[in-house]
Structure formats: structure tokens, C-alpha cells
Amino acid sequence: MNLEVALRHRFGAFGLDAKFRVERPGITALFGPSGAGKTTVVNAIAGLLRPDEGRIVIDGETLLDTAARIFVPARLRRAGYVFQDARLFPHLSVEGNLRFGWLRTGRRATQTEFDEILDLLGLETLLGRKPARLSGGEKSRVALGRALLASPRLLLLDEPLAALDAARKAEILPWFERLRDRARLPMIYVTHSADEVSRLADAIIVLEAGRLAAQGSVFDILSDPELGALVPADGAVFPARIVEQRADRLTALGFDGGTLLVPRISRPAGTPIRVRMRADDVMLALAAPEAISANNVLPAEVVAIRTRDANADIRLICGNVRFVSRITQSSLARLALVPGMQVFAIVKSVTLYPQPGPDSG
């Protein structure tokens, strides 16, 4: 899988000039403030917008090349698109919506695959309903199923959860997780949400005012305080694995730099886990603290310091894992932290998510 995008487009005061590459399946989050050009990029990939200049190539097939006057129309691109407002066809039942793309695709999924996607997204019980009778979360799931059943070779998701309240989001996020882990599709996911990115994204592309500001793995980008203003991150994420279930009802997670103890997760040893460590949940000490309630104290080295308002984001490295601690500027002065210093990071709590293993990414 290889997607190459180079776009130059201008309308009014807004100019887009961005170039990037996605080289593996999984979720690539497209980030940036409003007006950064995210939807323009996604629409250009889908073929809904013809940019002034550009080139889009997927797996060797050119979808767009303005220099060579190539423009493959949207209906032939096999780019599944999940819109923020779902855009279900109101006159068709859920089943009619799901079969719309399925009937029109050249390489139609078999009935078995059809049933699998229904099962993956929990759609069996909704088939006879009209879109007007679906909840917001159900609509998102149907829109996702409809796009998947058209046998796309990549999936474009433009803030698919933005219209949902927190409860509905929590209800649908696990479906996206399952999709990421099972569908083996490259996905471009436009979002503003730190939750969605920390939990789902494998890679991140940051756009600012129509230009590429940063690109990298979710682990690198979220632990980079320099991008703090652009990326709605509240801390780092990194991969870990279950090492052992301990007698004290804790589970030990191994990561590339040490061990974390977390409340019991009933999964076998070796299960990959994604750890989200919020910057606010990491305190710093110059000496190893004794008699302390926190289970996790990690020796780390200060890599970089970025001050903002009354706070300071301290970028740390422990083994090969980077994370961030947010302390006050007053603490920064008291501890006299400088890059290169050895410190102890006291981790108050972490959030854990399923993480696809290397075989499925």
C-alpha cells in the first residue's frame, strides 16, 4: 500500500500546498486548525474536488495528474468516504444504503464478506430501518459499513464522530478500533480530538495554513511538545505488551524502556497494549522518591523543555520511549531542569487501549 499526494490549490484567500505519503495500512490522522485544508485534501483524494495542480497516486495507479491531464472521476476511484453528517440516502432502508456501493463496485464483495462487515459493525438488526429512525451512532456505523462494502482501497473519514455527543462517541470508538485491526485498509482520518487520535491513530499528518507542518508516527508526534500548539494532544502514547499477571492484582506491562504496573487486565501475556500517558499525570523528582503511593516511577532523561504560559512541557526519554510531563514554570525553576538531566518520572495514572500487533499493521 502506497499513497502519494501532492496538491496545490487556491480559492479566495486560502491556499493549499502540501505533499505527503502514506505507506502502510492503518489510521493516519489528518490534523490541523479549522481552515488548514484538511477537508480539501480529503475531497481531492476522493475526486470530489479538482485541484489547480496536483498528483495523487495509489499503488502505482494515477488518480490525478494535472500535468498529464489525468483526472479519474470519483465513482471510479474506489475511495470510500465517511462524511461527518453520514449522508445516508433518506429514501433507502439501511440495507438499501449498504447495498448501494456494493451493487456498483466492479469487484463486489461476496455475501460472506457482506455478512462479515455487517457483523463487524453490528448492523444486522438495523437492516429494515430508514435512516430517519437511526440514532447518531447508528448512522455513523451504517455510513462506515456502506463505504466498506463498496470494496474501497482506502477509506477517507472526515470527522466521522464530530456530530456525536460524548456518550455516542464512546459507543462507536470500539467499532473503529475493530475496523482498524481487521480491515487492513489505509485510512485518512480527519479529527480534532485528542481522544480519537491517542486511541486510534497509527500515524499523524499535521497541516497548518495549507502546508504540511509535521508528519510521523503517533508515538513521535504526540510526544513532541514543539507541536503542542498544533496537535490537540494532552500527552504521549507508546506501545507496550502484557508481561505477567501479578499476585497483587496488578498487571505488568513491558515497554521499550521499562515496566509499568497497571490494574489487572484479563488478557494473556504478550497481548499488545497502547499506553496513553497524559502530561498532567506525570510528576518529576530529582531523586528516587521513597514511601510513595504511585506504583510507577520511571528513570528518564530530559530531552527538551518548552514553556507556555505558566506551564512547562518537559519532553522525556526512558529507554526508547518518549513522553511528556507538564509542570509549572515555578517547579521548573526550583528543579533547575535542563536537557540531559536524569530525573525520576512519577506516573500517577495511564489510560490503556488495544493496540494492533505488528502483524496486523
Partner 1 sequence: MEGILHLPLALPPVVVGYLLLVILGPREPIGAWLETHFDIRFAFSWTGAALASALITFPFQYRAIRLGIQAQDAGLAEAAATLGAGPLDRFINLTLPLALPGIVAGAVTAFAASLGEFGAIITFVSNIPGETRTLPLAIYSALQEPGGESEAARLAALSIVLALLGVILAGVADRRLRAALAQ
Closest Cα partner for 162 from 188, 129, 117, 195?
195
What backbone torsions phi and psi does residue 98 show, to the nearest 5 degrees? -65, -35
Q: Which residue in the set 25, 32, 37, 47 belongs to the binding site for partner 1 (CB under 8 A)?
A: 47
Q: Which residue in the set 23, 59, 85, 165 belongs to the binding site for partner 1 (CB under 8 A)?
A: 85
Q: Is 81 in the site for partner 1 (CB under 8 A)?
A: yes
The smaller minimum CB distance to partner 1, of residues 98 and 343, is found at 98
Q: Is 89 in the site for partner 1 (CB under 8 A)?
A: yes
Tell me how far, at minimum, the Cβ of 272 lies from partner 1, in Å: 33
C-alpha cell at 31: 490534523
C-alpha cell at 5: 499526494
Tell me how far, at minimum, the Cβ of 149 lies from partner 1, in Å: 9
Q: Is 80 in the site for partner 1 (CB under 8 A)?
A: yes
Query: Which of the stretches 143-151, 184-192, 262-270, 328-336 binds partner 1 when contact is defined by CB under 8 A?
Result: 143-151
Q: Is 75 in the site for partner 1 (CB under 8 A)?
A: yes
The smaller minimum CB distance to partner 1, of residues 158 and 224, is found at 158
Tell me how far, at minimum, the Cβ of 83 lies from partner 1, in Å: 6
Answer whether 86's CB lies under 8 Å from 107's CB: no
Q: Which residue in the set 139, 146, 274, 322 belongs to the binding site for partner 1 (CB under 8 A)?
A: 146
Tell me how far, at minimum, the Cβ of 85 lies from partner 1, in Å: 7
Tell me how far, at minimum, the Cβ of 212 lies from partner 1, in Å: 24
Q: Which residue in the set 7, 46, 188, 207 belongs to the binding site for partner 1 (CB under 8 A)?
A: 46
Query: Which of the stretches 78-86, 194-202, 218-226, 293-301 binds partner 1 when contact is defined by CB under 8 A?
Result: 78-86
Tell me how far, at minimum, the Cβ of 186 lies from partner 1, in Å: 16
Question: Cα–Cα–Cα angle for 102, 106, 110, nearest 5°?
Answer: 50
What backbone torsions phi and psi does residue 360 show, to the nearest 5 degrees? -100, 0
Q: Is 76 in the site for partner 1 (CB under 8 A)?
A: yes
- Angstrom distance (rounded) from CA 172 to CA 299: 37
* Total residue length of the chain: 361
Per-residue binding string, partner 1, 147-176, x by CB under 8 A, is x--x--------------------------
List CB contacts of 83: < 8 A, sequence separation 6 or more.
143, 158, 160
- Angstrom distance (rounded) from CA 224 to CA 213: 13
Question: Cα–Cα–Cα angle for 132, 133, 136, nearest 5°?
Answer: 80
- Would you call 76 helix, strand, or coil by DSSP? helix
What backbone torsions phi and psi does residue 356 show, to the nearest 5 degrees? -65, 140
Is residue 146 within a helix (H) or strand (E), and if so which, with residue range? helix 136-149
- Angstrom distance (rounded) from CA 120 to CA 308: 44
Q: Is 48 in the site for partner 1 (CB under 8 A)?
A: yes
**What is the sign, positive or negative, of the torsion defined by CA atoms of 346, 296, 232, 56?**
positive
Q: Is 130 in the site for partner 1 (CB under 8 A)?
A: yes
The smaller minimum CB distance to partner 1, of residues 147 and 237, is found at 147
Answer whether 28's CB lies under 8 Å from 204's CB: yes
The smaller minimum CB distance to partner 1, of residues 160 and 239, is found at 160
Q: Which residue in the set 16, 22, 58, 79 belongs to the binding site for partner 1 (CB under 8 A)?
A: 79
Question: Cα–Cα–Cα angle for 192, 193, 199, nearest 5°?
Answer: 135
Q: Which residue in the set 132, 287, 291, 336 belongs to the binding site for partner 1 (CB under 8 A)?
A: 132
Edge-to-edge strand list for the sheet holding 351-354: 258-263, 250-255, 235-245, 272-278, 351-354
Query: Which of the stretches 88-96, 134-142, 215-223, 224-232 binds partner 1 when contact is defined by CB under 8 A?
Result: 88-96
The smaller minimum CB distance to partner 1, of residues 74 and 212, is found at 74
Interface with partner 1 (CB under 8 A): 46-48, 73-81, 83, 85, 87, 89-91, 100-101, 104-105, 130, 132-133, 146-147, 150
